[in-house]
Amino acid sequence: MSADKDMLLPEQQSQQQPCYGTLQQQQKKKNTETCMDVCGYQRVLWRVVLCHLFTLLTIGLPLILFHWRPKLGVQAKCRPCPLYQADCIIIRDSYGQVFTVDVVTEEVDEGSLEQLGAESEEDDWRDTVQLHKEEKRFLRYYVFEGLRYIWMAKKGAFCKVSKLDENWTCGDIYRRRTGLSRQNQSAKQVVYGPNLIDVPVKSYLRLFIDEVLNPFYIFQIFSITLWMFDNYYYYAVCILFISAVSIALSLYETRKQSTTLRNMAQMKIGVTVLRSSGIMESVSSLDLVPGDCLLVPADGLLLPCDAALLAGECMVNEGMLTGESVPVMKTPLPSGSHAAGMQYSPEEHKRHTLFCGTQVIQARSLGNDGVIAVVTRTGFYTAKGDLISSILYPKPISFKFYRDSMKFVGFLGILAGIGTIYSLVTLYRNKAPWNWIIIHALDLITIVVPPALPAAMTAGTIYSQNRLKKHGVFCISPPRINVCGKIKLFCFDKTGTLTEEGLDVWGVVPGTGEGFEALLPEPRKLPQSPVLRVLACCHSVTLLNERLIGDPLDLKMIHSTGWVLEEPEGEEAVARAEQEFGMKVVGVMRPPVVEQQPYGISLEEPLGIVRRFPFSSSLQRMSVLVKRPAGGAVEAYLKGSPEMVASLCKKETVPANFTATLKEFTGDGFRVLGLAYKTVKTQSSFEELQELERESVESGMVFLGFLVMRNLLKPETRPVISTLRNANIRTVMVTGDNILTAVNVARNCGMVAPRERLIFVHGSPPSHHSPATLKFLLAESGAGGQDSTEIITQGLYQQGSRFLDQGPYHLALNGKSFAAVCEHFPDILPQILLKGTIFARMAPDQKTQLVQGLQEINYCVGMCGDGANDCGALKAADAGISLSEAEASIASPFTSKIDNIECVPLIIREGRCSLVTSFGLFKYMALYSLIQFVSVLILYSLNTNLGDLQFLFFDLVITTSVAILMGKTGPAKELCAQRPQGSLINISVLGSLLLQTCLSVIIQISTLIITQTQDWFVPLNSTVMFPENLPNYENTGIFCVTGFQYLIVAIILSKGYPFRKPLYTNVLYLVVLCLLSAVMGWLTLYPVGFMRKLLHLKVVPEMNYKLLLLALSGLNFISALLLETAIDHGMLKCLRRLRGERQSKKIHKRLEVSLSQQPSWPPLDQVIQAKPCTAIDCS
């Protein structure tokens, strides 16, 4: 074992291995980091033989056990061993789930090994191959959740195959633009496997076996067999038929969904790759491996892999991945000397990465090489593979209701055991035959644990899902609907979610080092100047079928200038443009024709766009290189967040009143962009300009002013925010925009009420001479501000160290401060998360981090965004809603065609309705079982039981009708302040079940006593056993009363207020309840001959007795209704007082109590310094 430990990764060597052959591996997934325990096992022949022998002797019992618990099968047939010797692997993931996989061993020929060795990663490649006896070389790997893990001896672990290329730099990728040789490609494919996102589609036989071996159906088979022995033929055949239909429908639906997903995931197309010999070769996309050089055709293609763009420009539709319908411009990966050593990251370089599953609409060559991309990821390692994996292998939903339901089923099982023991004793005392005793004792288990419970609990969710679909909201994860019922906090993106997607240009504010000029509402009236040129050229818009496509902001900006975009196509047009500008250009911006130019303005000079540096949310800017005609200079134009632009400009060109002017516009809710330019000194060629580094272009700029854009609130936003706040649901804004703009929107939409105070949190990272600092500053009334770079102007804040009146307050901070708090003030982070309402200038990964942080303090978090920069947060949230035109986006569990946040209260109301329905159905199924359990025990004591068709009538006619239709009741129209119960194990639920069961017992015993005291009553003959003693008076009385009890329980558990509509709105359910009540009344008072014989009912000679049974049932109904109403109004809360006050298990509730006892928090205007020992990595 010590030898094994020496081969571990450096960071793993210090870890104690849990057992021999075990390795703890950290696997980074998108936006998350997971940890897996991997244990190696080697098959032992005698163990395998023994298991097979035992299986034969027990008629396959171990197979069922191993199917339910595969880990036991591996441990029974194998012994623990070092990982490099393993035949099987047991994996425990970070959620505690256990999986088993087989290790595959493939022989690798010497020629392939030599070709692999020719690569630069010779040691890593050779490290994946093991040398066996007779000089044979083998590759060992296993596949888990679609990902291939290969054995790497130097690492002492099975590692993801992507580890071989995860440290590629931009320079490494550029060195691969010459392509791979055929031999290299073939050798790599042995290790990487086919470029395939393979969704497993099981055969109907395999699905049938898996379904039948489900514990639910095993229990059904046991029950049906038992009923057949007990002569319940009709009942057994009906249940068998229903189960068969259910299985058939389930198999069909499962296979249909798997086939649909496979058709969506799998892709096999022909692509053209460049070989190292310079030859272009057409190959199948299945044969692509990382390092292949892909040639993108001009008319585009559907990407079969992730690839880094090295030459040319591509306009890409990424709607399938993000739900965002606006095409995205992709430009070549940075290639300068500075970028060469930069590690390539698909997330960081997403503007230069073509993602699998996205559609290249148009590809444009910028030189003679065409449009070239190097493959970086294949199969499940691609962006599309990651999303398909999230559907196939979703994160388990940790919801208390589901956990408690399993505990309660276990409790019912214990109760069944007690009942079985009681029946054994009773029936033995009654001198019943042993076979009769055993069968009827076991029959109690099938009564107490209802087989239909799992199906009944999903009924409410299915109805809610269908209602949501009618409103244009689609859900790919139905269990999430119940989770929505417990949402306590909802995060919202700003632009396109709270505010309109499109921006209107309000005007431009030219500025120099001397100050700002007045706002010019119409940019087209600007004279020929750098300000006009930056508005006309600094964009990523392109033409598709003579139509402008691109970011809506860019389109509005171009429209405000009136300039026209041309893209030279064809040799003649390209040559003409090259002659006009003295070099090749990718686009030409021409001024409007003379007739459309404002009076007094004469514009004739076109501008040639030479290169684009696309917008990056992490960089908060974009820029272009522009060539002026007739030997003119090359100029760089820049636009982005004002703070970022100002930081890249020469200090003397930035107006002194920069902060005050920015505050003026952002405080009024405008979206502001900074503008800048500079002249590129070197007169370079087109090729040399393509080699310029972005950092060198975007430095030493001259500040030009502000572009002011108006972003109006959607009319639905304010009412929805008001509804959520009235429902006691916290609302949080998470945006990439300026903090003052976010504050204005928060005040206008009602997130921050007029009388509620706002406190800015300013965090600064440590410098060379000082530690990290944190400061809380009270904003001015109306609006406040925070500079997103280095300085907060004290004039923006009220001074004073006390917090007035200690009323409600909200915290606001930007991404920089959030990062500083996470890294250097982890002890204060929970309080900031508890009170934070506005999070501005947040990068996409910070949005995800925020959602996860809120979940860590036990909030049930919802997230609503447009699906583009919010994908990580949408997937991390308990309920993510993507506003998208797509019918179903795999970027989030919910996709809404409603382009505003009205879908949020709708989903919460449906979630609450579904959760309450699930509770009601669970309680109903439990009470139905307990009522039948009591009636059967009473009849067992008399040596009789319910008849075959009596069981069938109760279970199929009454219970099934109720279970199917109860969930049809819709959600309440209003969103109330209280939330439904989330736990079954609490005083209200358990108290209700206990008291209702006791009431049922009292009524049934009373029925038996009343029956036995009648003058006409004839007791059972103790020598005649069931079913020969049917019909009898005891059975008939119990049958009539319990039939009403099932209906009574259904009615009292169908209460509407405050989460569902009233019972009468569910018309079909109400009609069925009335019909069933009428049928039970008819069977009690006037049962006709054929029904009386069919149900084995005894003829009762006296009408008064029958009326007494109806009166008893009426008393049962009134008592049950009063009891349930009293419980709902807190009758059992006195029991909580007996146990005393307990601290809440939820961290955010404990924090609220703690902060309420600290009137001095937050400490205003005090500089808090980080302690050296508190720094942690939260990235």
Active site residues: 493
Identify the bridge partners of residue 329 per DSSP, sorted by sequence position: 315
Residue type, 94: S
* CB-based contact 525:507 (threshold 8 Å): no
Cα–Cα dist 131/135, whole Å: 6
- Identify whether the C-beta of residue 721 lies closer than 8 Å to the C-beta of residue 731: yes
Q: Report d(CA 895, CA 866) in Å as an integer.
A: 10
Cβ atoms within 10 Å of 72's Cβ, excluding its own = 13
Q: Please return the burial class of 503, using the count of CB atoms within 10 Å of its CB with bins 0-12, 13-18 and 19+.
A: buried
Q: How many CB atoms lie within 10 A of CB 24?
A: 16
CA–CA gap between residue 443 and residue 936 (Å, rounded): 10
Q: Rounded to an integer, what is the distance from CA 158 to the centroid of its chain?
A: 28
Q: Sign of the CA dihedral 202, 206, 210, 211?
A: positive
Name the pairing type of β-strands 137-144 and 157-160: unpaired
Residue 490 near residue 732, CB atoms below 8 Å: yes
Q: Which of 428, 637, 625 is nearest to 533 (CA)?
A: 637
Helix (H, G, I), strand (E, B) or coil at 17: coil
Q: For 786, which DSSP code?
A: -
* Phi, psi angles (nearest 5°) of residue 532: -65, -40
* CB neighbours of residue 806 within 10 Å: 11
Residue closest to 999 by CA, chosen among 930, 938, 925, 917? 930
Between CA 525 and CA 536 the distance in angstroms is 13
Q: Are 1006 and 964 within 8 A, CB to CB?
A: no
According to DSSP, the β-strands at 730-734 and 489-492 are: parallel
User: 605 near 581, Cβ under 8 Å?
Assistant: no
Query: H/E element holding 638?
Result: strand 634-640
Q: Which tokens go with 94? A: 């970070």
- What is the distance in angstroms between the CA of the first residue and the CA of the last residue of the chain? 34
Name 1040's Cβ contacts closer than 8 Å, sequence gap at least 6.
1007, 1080, 1083, 1084, 1109, 1113
3 state DSSP class of 521: coil
Collect all residues with Cβ–Cβ distance below 8 Å to 1073 and sequence separation of at least 6: 962, 1047, 1050, 1051
State how far the Cα of 875 lies from the Cα of 845, in Å rounded to an integer: 12
Q: Coil, strand or helix: which one is 745? A: helix
SS3 671: strand
Q: Which residues pair with 758 in a beta bridge?
A: 810
Rg (CA), the chain: 36
Residue 347 corresponds to which tokens in the numbers above? 């997330």
Q: Which residues pair with 25 in a beta bridge?
A: 36
Going by C-alpha positions, the residue among 297, 261, 477, 283 that lies closest to residue 372 is 297
E-assigned strands of 979-1093? none
Structure tokens of 250? 């389930």
Q: What whole-number distance in Å separates Cα of residue 467 and Cα of residue 752?
A: 32
DSSP character at residue 431: T
Q: Tokens 């505690």 map to which residue?
A: 96
